[in-house]
Structures are given as structure tokens and as C-alpha cells.
């Protein structure tokens, strides 16, 4: 399987998982959606379509998105995600989505030192986390994936308590 194949599989899993979260109505009724990593803005654009009435706040080092997919200034937080997103702890987000794997194991291992704790701190009890990297944390309970998503391709959790 080429890296192109893997990328298509991961993006498809991401899209199908987000659609599943909407269809199954998994989000708490209140709270923002936090997108960790804006990138080109394609996923933000998808989130915006799925949840037109939710506040969506995006975090990234810098803006590199297509102009059609840049949030309002008040919903962009620029800087190191680990630091900037921590400022939103305790604000009871409905969902955290993070697709910030790099394909480099050592870099991803460093990310996984802070991402699970950060995610829990951001979410409301009952809030949802969707991630391209596995989030190992006692307060994050894995939820079943919809059919067609391989178990190690994308990850879905609910914050319990």
C-alpha cells in the first residue's frame, strides 16, 4: 500500500467518522467544536457544513488554509497548539478533533505526551474526541467505529466523567 493509498484511507475514515458523529447525534447539545490543526482548512470546511450552528474554534501555528476555509478571526488561535489550546481548558467543548499526526513516529510520540491530557481538559463530560492518533487516557472511553473504518485508522472517544 502506497502512502497515497494510506492517505486516501485516512481522509476517508476521518470524513466518514465525522459524518457518523453527526448522524448518531453523539455531541452534547451545548459547547464548541475545537479543531486542533487547521492545515489547508478542508476538515474545517467539512465541520462547518456538518454543524452550521456550532461555534468552531481552530488552532494552528500559522494560517496556511485556502481562503474559502479560514474561520472568523475570533475563532482562530495561532501558536503552538499544546500551549494555545490549554487556554481553553475547562470551557466544556462538545468535541475535539485532532488530525495532527506527522507520519514521523518520534514526532508523534512527543505529541502523544500532551494530546490526551489536553483533550480531556478541553472536553465537557460526555464530550467527543475524534483523532488520527490514538488517545490513551482513563477518562476517554473508546466508542465503536462505523462500518468500513479499520480500528487503527481513526479513533473515537467519549469523555466519561
Interacting residues with a second copy (CB under 8 A): 2-5, 7-8, 11-12, 14-15, 40-43, 45-46, 48-49, 66-69, 103-104
Q: Residue 44 Cβ, how far from a second copy at the closest point, in Å?
A: 9
Q: Residue 148 Cβ, how far from a second copy at the closest point, in Å?
A: 13
Cell of 69: 476555509
45 in Cβ contact with 70 (< 8 Å):
no
Q: Please list the residues that pair with 96 across neighbouring strands.
A: 34, 129
CB of 140 or CB of 156, closer to a second copy: 156
Q: Residue 65 Cβ, how far from a second copy at the closest point, in Å?
A: 10
- Return the closest-CA partner of residue 12 out of 34, 39, 42, 32: 42
Say which residues have a Cβ less than 8 Å from residue 58's Cβ, sequence separation at least 6: 34, 35, 37, 38, 44, 71, 75, 76, 77
CB of 69 or CB of 111, closer to a second copy: 69
CB of 3 or CB of 74, closer to a second copy: 3
CB of 10 or CB of 158, closer to a second copy: 10
Amino acid at each position: 500500500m502506497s502512502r497515497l493509498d494510506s492517505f486516501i484511507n485516512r481522509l476517508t475514515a476521518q470524513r466518514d467518522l465525522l459524518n457518523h458523529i453527526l448522524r448518531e447525534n453523539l455531541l452534547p447539545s451545548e459547547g464548541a467544536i475545537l479543531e486542533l490543526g487547521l492545515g489547508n482548512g478542508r476538515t474545517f470546511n467539512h465541520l462547518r457544513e456538518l454543524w452550521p450552528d456550532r461555534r468552531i474554534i481552530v488552532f494552528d501555528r500559522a494560517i496556511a488554509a485556502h481562503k474559502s476555509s479560514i474561520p472568523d478571526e475570533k475563532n482562530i488561535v495561532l501558536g503552538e497548539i499544546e500551549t494555545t489550546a490549554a487556554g481553553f481548558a475547562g470551557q466544556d467543548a462538545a468535541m475535539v478533533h485532532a488530525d495532527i499526526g506527522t507520519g514521523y513516529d518520534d514526532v508523534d510520540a512527543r505529541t502523544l505526551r500532551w494530546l490526551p491530557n489536553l483533550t480531556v481538559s478541553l472536553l465537557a463530560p460526555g464530550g467527543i474526541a475524534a483523532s488520527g492518533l490514538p488517545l490513551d487516557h482513563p477518562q476517554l472511553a473508546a466508542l465503536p467505529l462505523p462500518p468500513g473504518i479499520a480500528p487503527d485508522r481513526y479513533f473515537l472517544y467519549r469523555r466519561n466523567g
